[in-house]
Amino acid sequence: MFYKRTYYIVVVFLLCYSLKGFSQEIPIGDWRDHLPYTDAVSVSYGNNIVYCATNSALFMYDKTDFSIERLNLVNGLSDIGLSKIMFNSYNNKVIVAYTNGNLDIIDIDKSITNLSYIKNSNVIGSKAINHIYLQGKLAYLSTGFGIVVLDTDKLEIVETYLFGPLGSYMVTNAVTMDNNYIYAATNQGVYFANKNSINLIDFNEWSILTDLGTLDYRNIVSFSSRIFTSSSLPNWDGDTIFYNDAGIWQKFLPNGIKVINMSVTNDNTLIIILPNAISGYDTNLNSSLYIDSYNTTISANPKELITDNEAKRWVADNKLGLVHHEYSGSEFIVPDGPSSTNVFNMDFVDNDLWVVSGSYDGGTFAPNNNSINLINHRIADSWANAPEKIYNSENIAAHDAVSIAINPSNKNQVFVGTWDDGLFEFNNGIITNLFNAQNSILDSTYFGTTKIGALAFDADKNLWISNSFTNNQLAVKTPDNSWYSFSFPGILNATNVFTNIIIDKNNYKWIVEPKINKIWVFDDNSTISNTNDDREVLNANIPGTRIYCIKEDLTGEIWVGTNEGIGVYYNPSAVFDEDITAEQIFIQQDGQTQILLETETVTAIAIDGANRKWIGTQNSGVFLMSEDGTEEIEHFTTKNSPLFSDAIFSIIINQKTGEVYFGTEKGLISYKGTATEANEDFNNIFVYPNPVKPDFTGTIAIRGLVKDTDVRITDISGNIVYQTKSLGGQAIWDGKDFNGNKVQTGVYMVFNGSPEGDKKAAAKILFIH
């Protein structure tokens, strides 16, 4: 178990999920990470544990029992965006460094202390921690402004060295020492000073190694009584490694190679990390190690290599996670997770979650050409292996998957729209078809690309497809694989772009055109093949100047997210009969009437089982609003929750469990909400946890209820101790009576009745104190 300690303030105990715990349904009010663990950036070793840091989190591999524990913002870490990890054998502490200057220290008892001195400092410019050099209890942190010396025993900053001209900031990339000097590789040369000086905070104590000039030096190490350093030239993707031998600086390797990292292992090998290879040299500077692949066929993308107490090699690989390398066969160690933090769009059916990770420019709608990690698929409680790349009809890597739709009658059939390469069909996780202008009714742009910005199934299982920048703006694929397309001359043309489709209870198609800030509504009158009875209208009565999202709620109202908050069509059935308006919602705030989220850009809307609105914003996190939007129930931000970022791209809900998934700028995270979809009857009522044990302090759920169930909880004698109404198909209870006291040990009856009184059922809960 890990617990996090905010230094000098508070101690918080948090559960660290093992892989087994991760696979279980989380309690109400808890959070769960869905981060990739393949993008490793740093690795360290101590006490039989291999520590592997990724861009977003870290995990620990125990060599004795082969177990894996993950650690992230949800269950102990203070931040996201890791840069380095280092085990200090002097005091058995682990230093976790971040790109924003934050620090976490993991002690031997697994307590976590956050040190935010650097992050919260008034330094102007980068505060990134680029490198950690250990000297006993002292950690020399190379940062974006200089060197910070941390006492890892006292958890205090001892000194800060600013050795630029007149004591100015200097981007410091790495630090090392020899018997006499401390060396700093900076973006303006290599600086050194007498390490025994009592006044290293004085910039006059530091000098530049003039023989090396003022190039950008990224790495520096002390090895075999020599100093090695690597320099980079501007606009040149190649570095030069120099070393000092008997006071003379000379090239170790010729320029033309890119050096990612340099280090010295426990078994005294100089390690040079290249973009796709690892080179090792013995103390005589002879080549002793070369790795450019694992198991002969898998390409390496290394960031760091270390050796443990048995001289076994461990690699932090940026695409494969933690690699235990042996020439006889490498082992890949990585927790379950998606392959990317990018979350542009999602769809959910039953327990299957699909995520697409492409994007396009939000202003020009030009493709961003993201061709890797396009699709991730979470089946039940684990992530399926998605292909790193998918290929178009010309066998070129497709890019920017931006829309997705799961067939509601066959969850194994999934359609993915890309922003250039057409429509992909997956069956059982395998691509079975690619539809574009060459082999279907889909149209192409002037440049020959097929942009599929939005997808939606209607009640008859027809797949509706938006076709941007063409003269045939809408297409449909029927269950019998018939195709139809629709054009709207005089209303739309080849300059229009479409980013969202919803199909309402009237079977009207509501299609967002963000460039002109209008919603195009189309009614095929349920006769797809007959266009004579079609209706269409372009509605512009919407707040703001840019539409980002659209959603129908459980009563049929249409909620629209814009750059000026929310607009609601309260009577969408009348859209073809009158010029209806998306109305803003007025709320009372601090005694004054305000417009709901008027100053926010609303990027995502999801409706839970109680018809409440989960609203994602561009900069302010997530709001949970009441059914009518007038009451704020929750507001999650990075300051009060584990939310990875306040920039929200998409939201989707597992309506069966109430788990809400937030696609943020920095990755996917979920929260166990209190509402689930309502049931038609009381045939599947269950209570959890049950029994309620003495140490339980969470929320009790009664699930399997009809909408607005009246729930009354009594003791065995029939005395009512609690009463509530279900949120969709679930009621919640904190285990306390009307006076706020925990109920006593015993059996309690849960009586449930539908609002009309025609359906009734009971359940039991056992409390043990």
3-state secondary structure 338-377: CCCCCCCEEEEECCEEEEECCCECCCCCCECCCCCCCEEE
Categorize the per-residue pLDDT at 327 as very low, low, confident or very high, splitting at 50, 70 and 90.
Answer: confident
- φ/ψ of 4, rounded to 5, equals -105, 135
Contacts of 512 (CB under 8 A, 6+ apart): 454, 498, 499, 500, 501, 519, 520, 547, 549, 550
Contacts of 112 (CB under 8 A, 6+ apart): 2, 3, 4, 5, 76, 77, 78, 104, 105, 106
Tell whether pTM > 0.85.
Answer: yes
At 2 the pLDDT is 53
At 11 the pLDDT is 23
At 387 the pLDDT is 65
Please, how many CA atoms are within 13 Å of residue 311, restricted to the half-sphere of its CB? 4
Q: How many residues does the chain have?
A: 769
For residues 150-155, average pLDDT = 98
Q: What is the spatial order of strands in the sheet that 352-356 belongs to?
A: 345-349, 352-356, 375-379, 382-384
Residue 284: CB atoms within 10 Å: 7
Domain extents in the chain: 346-540, 686-767
Q: What number does CATH give the domain 346-540?
A: 2.130.10.10
484-533 pLDDT tens trace? 999 999 889 999 999 999 999 999 999 999 999 999 999 999 999 999 99
At 22 the pLDDT is 32
CA distance 294 to 333: 13
**E strand spans, 319-454:** 321-325, 331-333, 345-349, 352-356, 375-379, 382-384, 401-406, 413-420, 423-427, 430-435, 450-451
Q: Are 352 and 364 in contact (CB under 8 A)?
A: no
At 177 the pLDDT is 98
403-423 pLDDT tens trace? 999 999 999 999 999 998 999
For residues 297-304, average pLDDT = 96
* Mean pLDDT estimate for the chain: 92
At 4 the pLDDT is 46
Is residue 227 predicted with pLDDT exceeding 50? Answer: yes
At 5 the pLDDT is 39
Burial 467-501 (b: 16+ CB within 10 A, else e): bbbbebbbbbbeeeeeebbbbbeeebeeebbbbbb
CA distance 229 to 217: 7
At 373 the pLDDT is 56
CA distance 649 to 342: 9
Pairing of strands 720-725, 710-714: antiparallel
At 230 the pLDDT is 96
Is residue 14 predicted with pLDDT exceeding 80? Answer: no
At 6 the pLDDT is 35
Is residue 10 predicted with pLDDT exceeding 60? Answer: no
At 385 the pLDDT is 61
Q: Are 455 and 467 in contact (CB under 8 A)?
A: no
Is residue 692 predicted with pLDDT exceeding 50? Answer: yes
For residues 292-308, average pLDDT = 95
At 601 the pLDDT is 98
At 17 the pLDDT is 25
Give the rounded percent of residues in the chain with a pLDDT score beyond 70: 95
The one-character DSSP state at 73 is T
At 255 the pLDDT is 63
The one-character DSSP state at 669 is E
Categorize the per-residue pLDDT at 363 as very low, low, confident or very high, splitting at 50, 70 and 90.
Answer: confident
Categorize the per-residue pLDDT at 15 as very low, low, confident or very high, splitting at 50, 70 and 90.
Answer: very low
Between vectors from CA 509 to CA 503 and to CA 514, what angle results, nearest 5°? 110
CA distance 36 to 371: 17
709: tokens are 């169930």
523 beta partners: 535
Count, in order, helices (H) and strands (E) of the chain. 1, 69
For residues 165-175, average pLDDT = 96
Is residue 91 predicted with pLDDT exceeding 50? Answer: yes
Pairing of strands 730-733, 216-223: unpaired
At 308 the pLDDT is 96
Q: Which residue has the higher pLDDT, 234 or 106?
A: 106
Q: What is the spatial order of strands in the sheet that 172-177 belongs to?
A: 172-177, 181-186, 189-194, 207-208
At 355 the pLDDT is 94
CA distance 283 to 281: 7
- φ/ψ of 165, rounded to 5, equals -50, 125
CA 393 to chain centre: 31
CATH architecture under which domain 686-767 falls? Sandwich (2.60)
421 beta partners: 450
CA distances from 267 to 283, 305, 497, 719, 760 (A): 10, 12, 59, 72, 72
372-402 pLDDT tens trace? 557 788 887 788 866 666 777 777 777 889 9
- φ/ψ of 205, rounded to 5, equals -75, -15
CA distance 710 to 726: 7
For residues 649-676, average pLDDT = 97
Categorize the per-residue pLDDT at 12 as very low, low, confident or very high, splitting at 50, 70 and 90.
Answer: very low
598-620 pLDDT tens trace? 999 999 999 999 999 999 999 99
Is residue 121 predicted with pLDDT exceeding 50? Answer: yes
Contacts for 157-162: CB closer than 8 Å, 24+ residues apart: 157/117, 159/200, 159/201, 160/201, 161/200, 161/201, 161/206, 162/201, 162/203
Give the rounded percent of residues in the chain with a pLDDT score beyond 90: 86
Q: Are 343 and 370 in contact (CB under 8 A)?
A: no
Residue entry with tokens 């695409």: 319
